[in-house]
Amino acid sequence: MLDYVGKFDLPKSERPKYLNELQSLNYLRVGLEYLYKNVKKIENKVLRGLDPNKIHHFVGNVPGLKGIPYELVACSFHWYAISVCNYALLVGWLQHETNSKAPTAKGYRDSALPKEVISWRDKVAGHFARAGDDKRDSPAERMASTLFPFGFCGDAFYASPMKLKITRGGKVSRSDSLKPWSLTKLHEELRKRYWPAP
- Domain-located, residue 4: no
What tens digit of pLDDT does each residue of 65-81 get?
Answer: 778 899 999 999 999 99
Counting the structural domains of the chain, the total is 1
The answer to whether the CB of 89 falls within 8 A of the CB of 106 is yes
Taking only Cα atoms into account, the Rg of the chain, rounded to an integer number of angstroms, comes to 19
- Domain-located, residue 94: yes
Within 10 angstroms of residue 58's Cβ, the number of other Cβ atoms is 13
- Domain-located, residue 163: yes
- Domain-located, residue 65: yes
Rounded CA-CA distance 136/19 in Å is 38
Contacts of 192 (CB under 8 A, 6+ apart): 4, 5
Q: Which residue range forms the structural domain that includes residue 76? A: 15-194
What tens digit of pLDDT does each residue of 150-164 get?
Answer: 999 999 999 998 888
Q: How much of the chain, in percent, has pLDDT values that exceed 70?
A: 99
Rounded CA-CA distance 97/58 in Å is 45
- Domain-located, residue 134: yes
- Domain-located, residue 2: no
- Domain-located, residue 158: yes
- Domain-located, residue 1: no
Q: Indicate the pTM of the whole model.
A: 0.94
Helix axis angle, 105-112 relative to 70-98, nearest 10°? 130
The answer to whether the CB of 58 falls within 8 A of the CB of 109 is no
Contacts of 21 (CB under 8 A, 6+ apart): 90, 93, 94
